[in-house]
Structure 1
Amino acid sequence: MTDGDAFAAPARFPSARPSPPHGAPSPAAGNMEPRWSPRGPLRLPRCSACLLLLLGTAGFFLSYAVEVDVKDASNATCLYAHWMMRFLIKYETNSSDYKNATLSLSSNVTHDGSICGNDTQAALLAVQFGEGHSWSVNFTKTNETYQADFITFTYNTNDTAVFPDAKRKGPITIVVKDTMHPVQLNNVFVCHNTDSVEAENVTQFFWNLTLQAFVQNGTIGKKESRCDADTPTSAPTVLPTVANVTTASTTTLSPVPTTAPKPVENPDTGNYSLKSENETCLLASVGLQLNVSRDKPLLININPKTTSADGTCGNTAATLRLNDGNSRFIDFTFVVKNASANVRRFYLKEVNVTLLNHVNGSVILSADNNNFSKWDASLGSSYMCRKEQTLEINEVLQIHTFNLRIQPFLVKENKFSTAEDCSPEVDNFIVPIAVGAALGGLVVLVLMAYFFGHKKHRNAGYEQF
């Protein structure tokens, strides 16, 4: 599964299950056709499903692997999937601030609505979990291949354990087109590496995926089709953990000449933009470097060539979400202050960083700081700072920025507006220092003049005697 475009869908439904998207099984009567109701799609009497929950851990969060084995009327497997997933959701609170919620699968997972599909009808893999949350993906096939079409995710902000103080209440549904490559029939699609889908303030993470739709003769295929990240030519990158950070050997018998570590070069500058209704609404140009301080400091440059931008634009809040393609996710949230005043300004309020293990999807580091007052500029202008700046996320994570220029609001003609430079912030200190030095020099000159003048006057008095 790969990033896809977000499709418009009603933001709230009377139930946690939306109407089927285009390409998904449609309401109809007859064999193997699902019936949609306010309670969600009903399981067909001719199709049974088996669900196994495998307890596991992933990072700092409890996570469950899900195995779904859908069977047809003859009790033969027709759709099989085993995977792990987690959701990172940004939501608005009653105080108009934004918080990040992590939603993982719980132990009470059901599978209502999963169906086999056939030559004319899409297959559907659907699960429900927690307090009104649900997730599904539908598959279509040709004569030789099958592929996923749409992912539908519904989260319920009435779940106060996950969304405390949420301003918007009730189920919220997003529908994302999945651009999974077609897979040969009778092949199993496998992707151990972490993949993600981002849309509408939600990032969906998937890993350890094994899947086969339209299973023939009830037998899971033996040939695998791997995702791009799992190809043998691309060794997975393992981000540092306490366990795998290289340490000095204690068994060395003789001293080994050491050389100073090669300094990490400054990151390349990336250019990012967001659009709303086909018009650019946010522009950013910045080089980014992560500084992770655990057992040993580690500098990670964000490569703009592999980094994609997503996020949201608004009148008083905007979020730029960067995915570097190597399981590193950075969110920058900007807000407008003095919204009712004649002169309004924007600033950076929150930064959220998530680092995942590229092999198994476990969380290596998740950190956020929602108390920034950085990158302040007038609304309608851009903020610029060529010098290096440091954002303190928490005690173990910093972000260094280089050649920064950002405009999260009121972008016109796809260009940056007049920049407010950070350099005057330094110049403001230089002016009083220069004035103080000049005054100090003047005082010294006055004292010296007085001293020499007074001494000359005394010498003149001696000559009179």
Structure 2
Amino acid sequence: MKTVHAWAMSVVLLLAVFGGIQAVTLEVREGNSTCIKADLSALFSITYNTSSSERSAVLELPGSATVDPSSSSCGSESSPPWLVAVFGSGHALGLSFSSNSSMYSVTNLTLQYNLSDATVFPEANSSDVVTVVSASVGIWAPVNTTYRCLSSATFRLDTANLTLSNVRLQAFMSGNDLSPNESVCLADQASTPAPPRPTTIAPVPVPTPAGPPERGNYNITQNGTVCLLAHMGLQLNVTHTDAQNKTVQDVVNVNPDLTSASGSCEANNTILVLTLEQSTTLTFNFTLNSTASKYHLSGVSLANWPNFPANSSIGNGSLNYLRSSLGHSYMCNAEQTLVVLPIFSINTFKLQVQPFGVTTTQFASAEECQIDQDQMLIPIIVGAALAGLVMIVLVAYLIGRKRSHAGYQTI
């Protein structure tokens, strides 16, 4: 099975690298207005069973794919926007979106494939229509900008792998064409050639320590109900190049009095957006694995930083921080560092967060971080060591006293 699957993935990657996947343009309209538009290439590697073995099929999103008007929509108060492309004999690719005042994101990717299509799935021992979903996507961008990722990115959807490339998409559009302002994915940023380095590299100026930040309460209320609780102190560390082409490191404390919180809560995806002074936005994306009943911080992005180019953002959608169980909050009183990118990290202080399973305005019982557990363990170890030392001294004293008395026995 692993050999077949590896072969299929190799085919997918080779096609993606050498440009063998054609791009498809998809558009969701409402009246005369476009709300979602996507130019992308997609390739699927699907594992299925025959009567004698397990096989892998490689399926491409063809140029003949069309938007399904009955499943696609611009969204409403009760339902999110959907882009659903149908192709072949009963196959479909779906993208659902969510948004807040400053950011939009792909909430999940959905693939539907029809095993009765003998052209794609020869000798399949089932004729079922299978639906698989990936709820950890990491595709987001500021509102009124185009998300761009020309590099290949592969997403795991249970029995299938989806590889996207040459992606330009935008949701919640204000016009009928993609915005010329682009939010570039991390993979494309990494592949951009770096400017020539000077012969003498100046050291990065060390900023004056900002001191510990003030703890803020950043809760999200949706439909009149609190759906996310977050209390924490935040310190941002951002490295950038200034106007003189010198590398500078900013260390900035987030001021709760000058920060507003917004976001959205979905079944498996919760987004917390903090809008700082000067319109900077710091976005946290939490993902829930409903099967394992575990959640974690899966993505962080920073947009409109004062020293960045206009409408630019940086981020990482493949993180695995702040892990906890559904029905519990995550707590870490000690300072911890969340490394988002080599040029961007966040120091957290007295953090407690619960992005799922919130039933009241109070945190559920907390699962503590390893740092806090270690700090509690150290006094216990020291205390036990001191108690042991006292016992050793006491025993030695009693033995010594007993021996001294033995030399003066009465004759």
When normalised by structure 1's length, the TM-score is: 0.43
- For the pair shown, the structure with the greater C-alpha radius of gyration is 1
When normalised by structure 2's length, the TM-score is: 0.48
More helix by share: 2
